[in-house]
Chain A
Amino acid sequence: MSAQEVVVLVIGLAALSYAFVRFVVRRRAGTCCGESSCPAAKGAVERLASASDQTES
């Protein structure tokens, strides 16, 4: 096996591991970012349902 092939193999394994870990973490959390509750959802609710800062500024 050449040096290039070894590096390619390592990169491939790293990519596979990353994709797998990411899949597991996000699946467990049930969100696309892996956090237990969705920050974008919170932001959306805060911005649209309670636009108090907007009114004040």
Chain B
Amino acid sequence: MATTSPSDAPKPTPSSLSGSDIDAPGGRPVIALAGNPNSGKTSVFNALTGLRRKVGNYPGITVDRVEGDLLLSDGRKARLVDLPGCYSLLPRGEDERLARGVLLGLDPRLPEPSAVIAVLDASNLERNLYFATQLLDMRVPLVVALNMTDVAEERGVPVDAAALEAALGVPVVPVSGRTGANAHALREALTRAAAPGRLWSLSADGETALDTLVQAIRAEGVLPERIVEAEAVRLLFHGTDASAYGGIVGTVQAQLDDAGVDRLALEAECRYLFCRDVARKARNDKDPQGPSRSERVDRLLTHRILGPIVFLGVMATMFLAVFAGADEAMGAVEAATGWLQGLVTEHLGEGMLRDLLVDGVIAGVGNVLIFLPQICILFLFLAVLEDLGYMARAAFLIDRLMRGVGLSGKAFVPLMSSFACAIPGIMSARTIESRRDRLVTILVAPLMSCSARLPVYVLLIGAFIPAGMQSLTMLSMYLLSIVAALGVAFVLRRTLFKGEESPFILELPPYRRPIVKTVIRTVTGKGWVFVREAGTIILAISVLLWFLAYFPKDDSLSAEAAQRIEAGEDETVVADWEASAQLEQSYVGRLGHAIEPVIAPLGHDWKTGVGLIASFAAREVLVSTLGVIHSVGEADEESVSLRERMRAETKPDGSPVHTPLTSISLMVFFVLACQCMSTLAVVKRETNSWRWPIFMLVYMTVLAYVASLVVYQGGLALGFGP
């Protein structure tokens, strides 16, 4: 195979652009910023625009282009468009499609860019140059911003910008996105942007085939001359429509295939040969020396065996902190709730309003707010781990498992996001190009244990699981969610969604010290969302649920209670009996009893059944619902601890209603069931069909029911009852 070295390359033709030519018909010139993920593109964007960013949404596409004002060296303002970071400009994923569309001037929302700034990571030069060759193919006026030169220097392989400029035939400016250094020089360089065209070359067979295609495209006269060759390269190596251009695409592809040429490998090899040659020149024939510190740490943390062990250890420590570290704060919130209930009881005359405030509003919202300290601890850990760079390693470990079950590598972003909430997870599945892979990811994302399940776990674990087992139980719930998601994906990929999986490149960012400000912002942000939910929808549902638990009133029960008190029975006992009897015949009581036969085999009573139905609005509503039901159903308004009330609840035969076994059965149900209307609505929107949300609801409910049944009945059979 013959390849062309930079010295053999055709002489770069100077771009037609000059300072005054950076122009756009009917508006400000557009400058596009392109580069690999992790090349520091966003930092260069911020340095050039002074962080004046606005986000332009592309309907139906999650990946955005970000736009800002760029002051050109002649004083004019240009639009700087930050394209999504991508490894290739082949239109496979939405991000690549978007970037390619803008660069080729095919995006109806933007004029063709007057120039493109390619941000290259100097510490990963070969891989970044691969992307640059694709930009060069497109004959866009190009300037290279050489970023992270300090990292390259630290690794002992400084990059000579002048040598790189000579090899590529476009201006190369070393910049620091972090400090903003040389941003001015980059602006200046835009006036010298050049479009030398394709610099790498193919084998003789390849060049002949390419030339045939170029002639065919040119003959049709539809595409502008500038992009003819780039389109020919795409069609030759990645074209799927063999009949295009009168069948010439199929003919030239067949010629190469018949000659035993692996077309995909041919393109990659030729480009990489060129990139290696250029990189060697730019580094004055030096190669990177030894692994970096991050790479050394990664040898342990991403190790096939040690990696998962460390990961489980980190998770177990996190959950231990969630239980052990929040006791005092939870006690304080509990005490505050009790104090508020006492205050209202004391100062408001007996009546319906007092009952609503004490049993509905305070019991409902208070019992959810109690979990705020634990939510904050959990997100504190997650924010630190993410900022440290560890979450990307965790993703890497899970990615290995995901590919094992046939999930797309790109599914790791949606699945990791689903640990916070399934909705952003499902929406970020838009980055997966294959519809089949995307659907599988969407269908399993809600199985990942979202943060709304956390209060449910914490309530049940705190109340019924012995102290030494709490962290382990919590960890088990998270592991169950991962195993369930991977298991379902495995089944789906071998039944409904058969086919090849798509390739994916996962890059691990270097470790860094967590930034306190970022961590605090994440924790307060998540905490605030939790408080806002408690103060809005949970408050509203608690009020509505109180109505359903308070009405209708059966006067005969009140009369019977009065008679029993007159007869000398203990007033508190009778009051408790009346509250409980009234609740049983209320709307909520009737509903609960109606579904009790269905959930009784899982070990749950009718009150939990009502909670399960209410939790379709939001999972944490289970906690507020149980809070309201237990509060309305008991005359004692001083004790607010839901955990204590649940622990003390007994069946008519005196045995406890809730046990460790029933709580595990309930948690397993919560891990696997799809109790979230918002998730179903989003799946409907994303798949544009009711078929998939209904499928999801059915399979998850059946899975949850069966698993919960197996846990409870199996536990009973093994003697873990009652």
Enumerate chain A interface residues (CB-CB to B < 8 A): 2, 4-5, 7-8, 11-12, 15-16, 18-19, 22, 26-27, 30-32, 36-38, 40-45, 47-57
Contact = CB atoms under 8 A, between A and B. Distances in A.
B305 interface: no
Given A32-B678, A48-B392, A49-B37, A38 B427 contact: yes
Given A31-B423, A48-B395, A4 B352 contact: yes
Dominant secondary structure of chain B at its interface with chain A: helix
B544 A43 contact: no
Contacts of B43: 52-53, 56
B38 A42 contact: no
B314 interface: no
A15 to B, nearest CB: 4
A31 B679 CA distance: 8
A49 B512 contact: no
B42 interface: yes
A12 to B, nearest CB: 5
B197 interface: no
- Residue of B121, B392, B507, B540 most packed against chain A (CB within 10 A): B540
11 contacts: A4-B352, A4-B353, A15-B541, A38-B427, A44-B425, A44-B428, A48-B395, A52-B37, A54-B512, A55-B38, A56-B178
B178 A57 contact: yes
A44 to B, nearest CB: 4
A8 B353 contact: yes
B532 to A, nearest CB: 10
A50 B416 contact: no
B424 interface: yes
Contacts of A48: 392, 395, 412-413, 416-417
Interface in B351-372: 351-354, 356
The interface residues of chain A, by DSSP majority, are classed as helix
Given A44-B424, A51-B392, A56-B43, A19 B541 contact: yes
Contact of A45 (B38, B63, B148, B617): B63
B597 interface: no
A13 to B, nearest CB: 10
A45 B41 contact: no
A54 B39 CA distance: 10
B396 to A, nearest CB: 11
B369 to A, nearest CB: 18
A41 B62 CA distance: 7
Interface in B660-708: 678-679, 681-682, 684-685
A54 B678 CA distance: 32
B354 A4 contact: yes
A16 B41 CA distance: 48
A57 B512 contact: yes
A25 to B, nearest CB: 11
Nearest to A11: B543
Given A30-B685, A51-B509, A44 B352 contact: no
Contacts of B412: 48
Nearest to A9: B352
B56 to A, nearest CB: 11
Contacts of A42: 55, 62, 64
Contact of A51 (B37, B148, B423, B539): B37
A5 to B, nearest CB: 5
